[in-house]
Chain A
Amino acid sequence: MAFGVFTEEQVEFRKIARDFFETKSSEKEVRRLMATEDGFERATWQQFAQELGAVGIAIPEEYGGQGFTWAELGIILEEAGRTLFGGPLLSTVVLAATALLESGDEAAKQKYLPGIAAGETVATVALTEESGKWDESGITTPATKSGDAWTISGAKHFVLDGATADLLIVPARTEAGVSLFAVDGTAAGVTRTPSITLDQTRKLAVVTLDGAPAKLIGQDGAGWEILQRVYDVAATALALEQAGGAQAALDMSVAYLKARVQFGQQIGAFQALKHMAADVLIEVESAKSAAYYALDALVEGSEEFPLAASLAKAYCSEAYVTAAHQNIQFHGGMGFTWEVPAHLYYKRARSSEVLFGDADYHRSAMATRMGI
């Protein structure tokens, strides 16, 4: 994939993905599922994995995946963002699969990746704790070793799909530093409490571990190195989702500006609103450029990737908030209602802004990554 162009196959793949999300994640479905505790249905997730091949798309074939690249997964993420898809895409496909693939732990990869790719295992990474810090200092929970067996005690907060995940990948501190552990979601000593979230389409949980049995993934003490990579990949993935959501919010705005009549004319003819819409368009297109560039850098394995990932997350966070905010403003009183879905995009935009570090956090990271 060259930056800025999609191949014919990718254009075709986008159509298929869009069709899937428009039926499986229609507004009606989104509203139905967001009112449930899980936020998604296993059957749909398995269909998503098996019919669309979308879960294992970037997982190598030897681990049961399709062995495509992140370029194709990027398309899925953008389209998922357009329709506020509530499936465990970020948790399972982005966080957990990346952590496993980056761990260098062959046994763990063989054990968990095929189930993930098949849509049978829902997995997540419990990135942060009560502090809500998205850096190494956010990890304080200790893991203790007794004989050959590890146990973890502590609380993980803001865990994506934490209440439904079969596999919890838990970063914890050992004498060697931050390390990654696999914890069975239903193991003794694991208590999962669904959180009440602003964005109901994105399910979070508090996971409390009380001497929960854990299995080391990768090298003891190598956890933060792996997580840094996971964070960069996650920032890029979320940026793509944000770009898709921002486009959907703009599409909704434009449709309303054409449909609504006041003072004897379509409100889209008023320059005050037109100019806001033109500015949103710049944000949306620029968000796509930033996200595509980071995706391209990820696929190419370029040295620019970590910096491009932070730029994309910083940019797309603000662009999506702008597009979703202005969408409510364009809709006036109707935008403030539950009935019009503008609030769903706004809440998703706000939750995505915070997740994995906000724009200020990532601009700060950019500066560091530029060497200043």
Chain B
Amino acid sequence: MSLEDDARDWIAANWKGVDDLDYRNKVVEAGWAAPDWPVDAYGKGLSAAEARLVSKLFTAAGAPDPVRNKANFGALMGNPIVEKGSDALKRKVLPKLLNGEWERGCLLYSEPGNGSDLAGLQTKAERDGDEYVVNGQKIWTTGGHLAQMALLLARTNWDVPKHEGISLFVLDMKTPGIEVRPIKQMTGEQDFNEVFLTDVRVPAENIIGAENEGWKVLQIALKEERRMMGIELGRRDAQPGERPAIFSMSDDLIEAARSAGRLDDEAIRQEIMKNHSWRMVNQWNGTRAMRELQSSGGSSLASLGKLAKSRILHQGWALRFKLIGAKGLLYDPADKANYEVDNQLMWAFINSIGGGSDQIQRNIISERILGLPKGHEADRGIPFRDVRKGGTFTDEKK
């Protein structure tokens, strides 16, 4: 039976027009919610292209897109479990990710003492019978106050070098001992959280992969994050009726210059065209990366996009700031247009700091793509217990 017939028959037999938990569980059990996951992980072992077809067949029949929860947070949270989790953990977690019970997840990776140097994390997970007891503090948690579950990185062995003593866990955010506090940003807004973990008891079966193997498992989760970024980068073709991006992609800057009456100012025109060129080449790099990924499964271009985006955002919003002149002195939310310029001028730092700062990206690019040697690391090869921990410098001689 073809995939089309299979899907149509299933929809005809099961979709009754009510999108409730009972229906969604049937979708999950039948493998429609994650068609490109393996059969033993609530999938059907289909290709990505076939999975896209499944979505089309369901929506064409008037049923909800079965893949929506996976596309939302399911893949980001679920991929490491699919690849490295035990069967028990798959049964426990994957249905909830796919049926919408856990519709939102968060990532408990970064710590106040460990931003760039993530592998130096200091949150500890100690084994106690069938559980781990977790203590520590996490930071920069997007959606921490909304999430039902988290991926948690914690240290399970202090007597080995830093990368070798980390484990990755699934954490139910309703577990006692978790306190989520919002962080006020430089913009005045609150989009991230700190998460305090005090004697949080995590079932031992919630570990993803083997104990102390967390750093490797983490790479699977990061791959999905980068893939999502890649999709964002890879968009190129104009929609029907739209002008090609090369003509229209910087309309925002052009409009801003026009409003300011400075569109005929050659210095401004040069700045706009410089930014426009950066935007275009970054998009084309993304397209090339996608095509290389499709044809050979790897692309060194994929890791350039985030770094290249920093100059686009910083220079672009600095130009917008210049164009609004004295209005930039104000930060009044009632004046929406000018408020946005000041606000985005600050938000540009999220790209150049978040998810690995530009400086960390340059290290990664120069080592992994150009093959340059690693620099000196004072903690390399030393048991984590004995290394100087991340945080604030104190003069040990005193």
Contacts and interface: CB of A to CB of B under 8 A. Distances in A.
Interface stretch (B78-86, B128-136, B206-214, B363-371): B363-371
A302 B301 CA distance: 26
B372 interface: yes
A372 B308 contact: no
A303 B246 CA distance: 11
B270 A5 contact: no
Given A290-B284, A293-B284, A311-B246, A269 B304 contact: no
Contacts of B301: 285
Contacts of A271: 359, 362-363, 375
Interface string A349-363: 000000000001001
A277 B366 CA distance: 7
Interface residues of B, number: 45
A131 B352 CA distance: 44
A266 interface: yes
A71 interface: no
A145 interface: no
Interface size class of A (residues with CB under 8 A): 35 or more
Contacts of A278: 307, 361-363, 365-366, 370
A139 interface: no
A265 interface: yes
A270 B284 contact: no
Given A266-B373, A366-B276, A274 B247 contact: no
A254 B370 contact: yes
B371 A314 contact: no
Contacts of B282: 286
A353 B352 CA distance: 30
Majority secondary structure of chain A interface residues (helix, strand, loop or mixed): helix
A277 B370 contact: yes
Contacts, number: 131
A286 B372 contact: no
A282 B280 contact: no
B242 interface: no
Of listed A279, A286, A288, residue having the most chain B CB within 10 A: A286
Contacts of A363: 269-270, 273-274, 277
Nearest to B373: A269
Nearest to B254: A372
A176 to B, nearest CB: 32
Given A277-B372, A282-B308, A4 B287 contact: yes
Interface of B: 236, 244, 246-247, 254, 263, 266, 269-270, 272-274, 276-278, 280-282, 284-285, 287-288, 290-292, 295, 301, 304, 307-308, 359, 361-363, 365-367, 369-376
